[in-house]
Amino acid sequence: MQFAIAEKFHEKYLETVTMEISQDALWRERLFKGQYYEPFLATYKELEELPCQLWTVFSQYGLEFLVSKVQSCPETFDKESIIFKFQAKGFSNLVRYSGNHRNDFA
């Protein structure tokens, strides 16, 4: 039962997490400088690492996401885009991608 509830909250906030982390300067720098497919953990256990807009939902629901830079995905983005992959930790079916340009949100 707890597993199903956890999955529901990860699914509910996947889009918000994708948007907020994709626009956060520190996460963008980390991902752009990281290796392709190198996962970074966004976790309720280290709130100070997250954009402050996410602190409440992460701490309230125990959210954890793996975030990485990937070379390809099933979605279509501009050719110049750097793709970030967001996957709910423990729920491989909950995945979202964002296309990013280095000069966006700088």
The structural domains of the chain, with segments of one domain joined by +, span 2-100
Residue 103 reports pLDDT greater than 80: no
Instruction: Give the Cα separation of 28 and 37 in Å (integer).
Output: 15
| C-beta of residue 32 within 8 angstroms of C-beta of residue 82 | yes
User: How does pLDDT run across 19-39, given as a tens digit for each residue?
Assistant: 999 999 999 999 999 999 999
Tens digit of pLDDT for each residue in 35-54?
999 999 999 999 999 999 99
Sign, CA torsion 60/52/45/24:
positive
Confidence of residue 104 (pLDDT cuts 50, 70, 90): low
pLDDT in tens, 75-102: 777 788 899 999 999 999 999 999 888 8
Residue 91 exposed, middle or buried by CB count within 10 Å (0-12, 13-18, 19+): middle
- H/E stretch holding 26: helix 25-33
Burial class (CB in 10 A: 0-12, 13-18, 19+), 75: exposed
- Quote the pLDDT of residue 95: 97
pLDDT given at position 65: 98
Q: In one letter, which amino acid is 26? A: L
| pLDDT, position 46 | 96
Has residue 17 got a pLDDT over 90? Answer: yes
In sequence order, the β-bridge partners of residue 97 are 85
Question: How many Å separate Cα 50 from the centre of its chain?
Answer: 10
The mean pLDDT value of the chain amounts to: 92
Contact of 99 with 80, CB cutoff 8 Å? no
